[in-house]
Amino acid sequence: MHKNIAIIEGDGIGPEVTKQSIRVLNAIAETFNHSFEYTYTLMGADAIDKTGSPLPDETLEVCLKSDGILFGAIGHPKYDNDPTAKVRPEQGLLKLRKSLGLFANIRPVTTYPALHHLSPLKTKNIEDVDFIIYRELTGGIYFGNKLTNEEGTQSSDDCTYTADEISRITHLAFKAAQKRRKKLTLVDKANVLETSRLWRKVVKEIAAEYPDVTLDFLFVDNAAMQIILNPKQFDVVLTENMFGDIISDEASVISGSLGLLPSASVGNGVALFEPIHGSYPQAAGLDIANPIGSILSAAMLLDHFNLTEEANLVREAVTWTLQSGFVTKDIDPVNSYFTSTVGELISDYV
């Protein structure tokens, strides 16, 4: 099988973790006789520094022509505390999501028994946690009108949703639930927000088409509690963009190791895969960042190509390094291996 993969290394630790994923993908290609062709392209602070734009047109073209995108991380502190900055790295990612129609961000939340001791939660609360968050990614307050008056004394953000925007991700989430434990939880704030009431209405209507899936509802404030109090109760969680941003990051602490978690952003065409961790600029270039979030994102990319055996082999290799203690500093500060060593061990295993 031949595939064109767009590579966006991005900012901070993005380049060094992505490098390890490519190593693993190359090992897969060799073992299974595939050919993966990589096209490197720019986004984020890196792109601003080099081209002035957080998402150069060329990047969009490369992505559109690709079969899948592997992305590292975005963001640099020099832009964060400057409210007047006109160009921000994150704009690149948001524009990419919108332009490619990546309307669903999918984040599995799983735990590794070997790493239970790293979780801030008690082991009995996290054993057997296995759920998946479907976050709407191209609508809501992220993409609504943004206004500030001339005097700079009043600002506003508009949050709009259409039934169609809700419907397309809802179908994906129900289908995922059908292949899992058949439970879907919609997280919203229907006691306050008009958009949440539209979500509830549309999701309820669609539920009729999936009679084997149980649907329930949680207000987002309650969901923020339940994710910590009793994460086992969840199977598939569906929510809008802003709530999804918050609760999916919250849920990522359960495993005790942010550095391990992958994500996929999908839509009608090409899909994008990225670790959930950020650009972590303090660690950039030190060869200490955990490459597994990126490597498991590459496994999701393989799934997306329907290369299930290949994807599972990558996951097996990851589990093997974790069990063997071949881990980066975030997992074991005392006996730690470099980013590049962990990447090498995983690709060797493959």
Q: Check binding of 250 to ligand IPM (CB under 6 A).
A: no
32: number of Cβ within 10 Å:
14
What DSSP designation does 25 have?
H
Q: How far apart are CA 293 and CA 177, in angstroms?
A: 24
Rounded to the nearest angstrom, the gap between the alpha carbon of residue 170 and the centroid of all alpha carbons in its chain is 18
The entry of a copy of itself, ligand IPM, none that residue 286 binds, CB within 5 to 8 Å by partner kind: none
The entry of a copy of itself, ligand IPM, none that residue 228 binds, CB within 5 to 8 Å by partner kind: a copy of itself
- At position 233, the amino acid (one-letter code) is Q
The answer to whether 200 is a known ligand-binding residue is no
The entry of a copy of itself, ligand IPM, none that residue 153 binds, CB within 5 to 8 Å by partner kind: a copy of itself
Binding mask 4-23 for a copy of itself (x = CB under 8 A): --------------------
Residue 61 CB, shortest distance to a copy of itself, in Å, is 25
Catalytic residue list contains 249? yes
Applying CB under 8 A, which part among 33-41, 153-161, 304-312, 326-334 lies near a copy of itself?
153-161
Contact 72, 96 (CB under 8 A): no
- Residues 246, 248, 249, 255: is their CA dihedral positive or negative? positive
The entry of ligand IPM, a copy of itself, none that residue 156 binds, CB within 5 to 8 Å by partner kind: a copy of itself
Nearer to ligand IPM, 74 or 346 (CB): 74
Residue 63 CB, shortest distance to ligand IPM, in Å, is 16
Q: Check binding of 234 to a copy of itself (CB under 8 A).
A: no
Q: Which of 146, 221, 232, 348 is catalytic?
A: 221
Q: Nearest CA to 296 among 312, 315, 310?
A: 315
Q: Nearest CA to 71 among 236, 224, 324, 293?
A: 293
What backbone torsions phi and psi does residue 262 show, to the nearest 5 degrees?
Answer: -100, 170
The entry of ligand IPM, a copy of itself, none that residue 299 binds, CB within 5 to 8 Å by partner kind: none
Q: Check binding of 81 to ligand IPM (CB under 6 A).
A: no
The answer to whether 216 is a known ligand-binding residue is no
Q: Which of 79, 134, 142, 210 is catalytic?
A: 142
Residue 340 CB, shortest distance to ligand IPM, in Å, is 25
For residue 309, give the H/E element and its range. helix 308-324
The entry of ligand IPM, a copy of itself, none that residue 323 binds, CB within 5 to 8 Å by partner kind: none
The correct pick among 38, 39, 217, 245 for binding ligand IPM (CB under 6 A) is: 245
| Spatial strand order in the sheet of 272-275 | 35-40, 2-10, 68-73, 272-275, 262-266, 104-110, 130-136, 236-239, 183-188, 214-219
Nearer to a copy of itself, 19 or 90 (CB): 90
Q: How far apart are CA 235 and CA 280, in angstroms?
A: 30
Distances in Å between the Cα of 302 and the Cα atoms of 28, 68, 278 are: 10, 9, 22
Residues in the chain: 350
Q: Check binding of 35 to a copy of itself (CB under 8 A).
A: no
Q: How far apart are CA 131 and CA 109, in angstroms?
A: 5
Nearer to a copy of itself, 7 or 109 (CB): 109
The correct pick among 250, 281, 336, 349 for binding a copy of itself (CB under 8 A) is: 250
Strand, helix or coil for residue 275: strand
Q: Nearest CA to 176 among 281, 59, 266?
A: 266
Considering only residues 300 to 329 of the shown chain, the ones binding a copy of itself according to CB under 8 A are: none
Residues placed in the known binding site for Mg(2+)? 221, 245, 249
Using CB under 6 A as the criterion, which residues of the chain lie in contact with ligand IPM when the complex forms? 74-75, 90, 93-94, 191-192, 221, 245
Q: Hey, which residues are catalytic here?
A: 142, 189, 221, 245, 249
